[in-house]
Amino acid sequence: MTKKKTFLLAVVIPLLILLAMTIKPQATVLFGQEIVLETKAYDPTDLFRGDYVAINFAISDIPKSKVDLPITKINNKNLYVSLKQEGKYYVVDQVSETKPKQGVYLKGKFRERYNQFNGAGNFRVDYSLDKYFVEQGSGKDLEQESFKGGLVGTVKALGGYGVLTGIAPR
Amino acid sequence: MKRQISKANFSLVSTELDHYASNGLITGEQKSGILEIYEVKGGLNFIRVVVTIGALLVGLGILSFIASNWDGISHLVKLLIIFGVFGGVNLAGYMLSENNPKTGRSFIYLGTLVYGAGIFLIGQMYNFGGDFPTAFLLWSLGVLPMAFLLKDKYLMLFANLLFLVYLFGSYDIGFPYAGWVGVPVAYLAYNYFEKSRLLLFFANLTTLTFIFEITIRYKVEGLYVTLLFFLIGLVMYGVKHKLEPDIFRIQGNILFGVSGVILTMPELWKIVVNVQSTRLVSILFALAFVALLFALIRKGSLISLIFVCVTIFRYYTDTFAFLPKSLFFIVGGLLLLGFGYYFERMMKSSKGGNLRD
């Protein structure tokens, strides 16, 4: 390989990595099913990606009664959460180990969380949908809206992978 | 080929030779003859420093611009700009490499920062959740090809640092599987980049971080983790080998020093002894640890001296029960003074008063 070609290769590899990063989320935005979820939010900052609104979806807290799997198969595991529409919003329907054959579902990492008041506790599920990036300084308005009465988030879901596409006042 | 030494060493040699020449030990001719065999090693080059800092500033500016998430340009246009700038600076770097190699190289450096900005832009575009340690893994991965192609140890160092950020960022999120590949690559790079000591230092650091992540993954108790690192530190310090012993000694010394100080905390020991005896065990450990440090100070380890001070300070801030503390410190200090005096006398008598100072 000539010097020119190897140099070109060293330049193209990072570009390919960048392009590859966009494939899954872009496909989800284009072809995924849109779902609307209830949420609360506040407004911190990330050093490299800037201001964002931290989001806490209602579907991230799943009561233990909804999951009928042994605890060893839940904690710190990635499971599929099927969603069903109730009124305007989507809520948790059931949890499964394998990919559901139909319907809308998201993949998330489960963590056990004890409730010190009644001992029942629930599961905290991380769908990696906890940040919505906004222009610097504009996150405070959304935070205010959240205090007033909650926000709704729009998520595109495809094959268990979700991309947060927007948030708005209820 | 001339012998390469640093600028400071060269000036030491030259002043000493001046001294010999003025004392008549050697002639002026001999002096210049000796100086002829040396060559000052290329240290920091002013132009290189200026252009590199220039590239760094522009790069940080671009990273900051992306983080501002300015609404004036859409995400897609920003991504196209990133691609354009990345291609542009690399092309410029390539074209300049013939006639202005230093400026050319700084354009390549700028390219790696622009690439990083691209990663965070994509994270922003699709609202990736979580702490995004993968960003630093991908950043590191994208810097590697250029680092190896140009055999640029500073680019390699940058890739290694990014990889370390990835390893640290994965703490508590998930196991950084890329470590199984990253650690060998770091040593491969050391071998490939003319055995740069800098790279070996960071390769060792990467390995230690990865070992730490493994202990987290398997939920090893804090005591065992610290003991493990204490032992690794001792091995790195003590085992004799040919591969850059200085680097291993310094890293080992710092490692067992830090983990030794941590092991003086009584709370750690409660998993092996009952709660009442944790204090006793930790103090016994502290005494053995300080004895070891003293033995090493005798062998000339200055870093051990620092850790003796840290250990003393750690006990000084430990409790507000001033009276027992005062007793302990005065007795301890008097014991040390006494030992020192005893050893000084003993050495004097055995060497027949040879020690003048």
Q: What is the DSSP string of B201-257?
A: HHHHHHHHHHHHHHHHHTT--HHHHHHHHHHHHHHHHH---SS-HHHHHHHHHHHHH
Q: Which residue of B has its CA nearest to A125?
A: B130
Q: What's the CA gap between B203 and B89, in Å, rounded?
A: 29
Backbone angles phi, psi at A163, to 5 degrees: -120, 125
Chain B contact set for A50 (CB, 8 A): 66-69, 124
* Facing B149 at nearest CB: one of A7, A46, A165: A7
Q: Which residue has the higher pLDDT, A16 or B174?
A: A16
**For range B260-288, the mean pLDDT:** 88
- What domain range includes position B270? 220-318
B256 occurs within a structural domain: yes
Q: Which residue of A has its CA nearest to B84?
A: A15
> What is the band of B357 on the pLDDT scale with cuts at 50, 70, 90?
very low
Q: In this structure, what token pair is assigned to residue B296? A: 């090493």
Chain A contact set for B158 (CB, 8 A): none
Amino acid A114: pLDDT: 66
Amino acid B356: pLDDT: 42
A→B contacts (Cβ < 8 Å), by residue, are 4, 6-7, 9-11, 13-15, 17-18, 21-22, 25-26, 29, 46-52, 126-136, 163-165
> Under an 8 A CB cutoff, do A135 and B83 touch?
no
> What is the band of B353 on the pLDDT scale with cuts at 50, 70, 90?
very low
Domain total for chain B? 2
Regions in chain A scoring below 70 on pLDDT = 1, 41-42, 114-120, 149
B62 occurs within a structural domain: no
Q: What's the CA gap between A52 and A56, in Å, rounded?
A: 13
Q: What's the CA gap between B141 and B163, in Å, rounded?
A: 8
* Facing A10 at nearest CB: one of B87, B127, B145: B145
* Range in A2-6, B110-114, B169-173 with the lowest mean pLDDT: B169-173
Q: Which residue of B has its CA nearest to A163?
A: B126
**For range B155-180, the mean pLDDT:** 88
Amino acid B105: pLDDT: 92
**For range B273-277, the mean pLDDT:** 84
Q: What's the CA gap between B328 and B314, in Å, rounded?
A: 14
Q: How close does chain B come to A133, measured CA to CA in Å?
A: 6
The overall average pLDDT reported for chain B is 87
pTM, two decimals, is 0.78
> What is the band of B282 on the pLDDT scale with cuts at 50, 70, 90?
confident
Last residue of a domain, one of B285, B300, B318: B318
B323 occurs within a structural domain: no
Max mean pLDDT among A109-118, B195-204, B336-345 falls in B195-204
B111 occurs within a structural domain: no
* Range in A44-58, B78-92, B252-266 with the lowest mean pLDDT: A44-58
The answer for residues whose C-beta is within 8 angstroms of residue A157's C-beta and 6 or more apart is A28, A32, A33, A35, A104, A105, A106
B296 occurs within a structural domain: yes
> Under an 8 A CB cutoff, do A135 and B66 touch?
no
Tokens 């595109």 sit at which residue?
A156
Q: Which residue of A has its CA nearest to B175?
A: A76
Q: At residue B89, does pLDDT exceed 90?
A: yes
Max mean pLDDT among A111-115, B57-61, B129-133 falls in B57-61
CA angle, A149 as apex, A147 and A155 as ends, to 5°? 100
Pick among A3, A9, A11 to test the B interface (most B CBs inside 10 A)? A11
> Under an 8 A CB cutoff, do A11 and B135 touch?
no
Amino acid B355: pLDDT: 43
Pick among B60, B127, B173, B175 to test the A interface (most A CBs inside 10 A)? B127
- pLDDT tens sequence across A131-155: 888 888 777 777 777 777 678 889 9
> Under an 8 A CB cutoff, do B126 and A29 touch?
yes
